């Protein structure tokens, strides 16, 4: 069965760091762009970062720019999200998704072929 599984979430103090992994099985992740999404309390799911299939292009939403870094290792069939300087407002459920981008070499997805189950990130003192 094709799956996408997030891991690495947990409880961290403000200013701390976490590294999330997004591991694919049953399909080749290298053929897809990847997006990271989160559901924060009181809000709908939103994409905050993405990376193109070959890693050549990345995008970040304003609230995470400069603090989060998206990457991928296609040889390991895995994507990553390094989160630094975490803030309480970053608390939420984090998801990765693999899919088809809007255009060639883009990272923004318009079709989501695979979704992970989500991992909880809690930032609190």
> What pLDDT, on a 0 to 100 scale, did the predictor assign at position 105?
82
> What pLDDT, on a 0 to 100 scale, did the predictor assign at position 1?
87
pLDDT along the chain (125 residues), means of 10: 96 98 97 96 94 95 98 97 98 97 87 96 97
C-alpha 8/C-alpha 51 separation (Å) is 19
C-alpha 75/C-alpha 43 separation (Å) is 35
Question: Exposed/middle/buried for 51, CB within 10 Å: 0-12, 13-18, 19+?
Answer: buried
DSSP SS3 for 101: strand
C-alpha 1/C-alpha 119 separation (Å) is 20
> What pLDDT, on a 0 to 100 scale, did the predictor assign at position 38?
98
Structure tokens at 24: 């694919």
- 3 — phi, psi (to 5°)? -140, 155
């Amino acid at each position: 069965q094709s799956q996408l599984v997030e891991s690495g979430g947990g409880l961290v103090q403000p200013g701390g760091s976490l590294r999330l992994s997004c591991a694919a099985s049953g399909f080749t992740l290298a053929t897809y762009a990847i997006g990271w999404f989160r559901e924060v309390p009181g809000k709908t799911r939103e994409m905050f970062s993405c990376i193109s299939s070959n890693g050549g292009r990345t995008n970040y939403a304003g609230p995470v720019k400069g603090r989060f870094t998206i990457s991928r290792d296609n040889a390991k069939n895995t994507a990553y999200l390094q989160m630094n300087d975490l803030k309480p407002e970053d608390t939420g459920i984090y998801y990765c998704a693999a899919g088809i981008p809007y255009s060639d070499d883009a990272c923004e997805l318009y079709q989501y072929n695979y979704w992970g189950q989500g991992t909880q990130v809690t930032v609190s003192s």
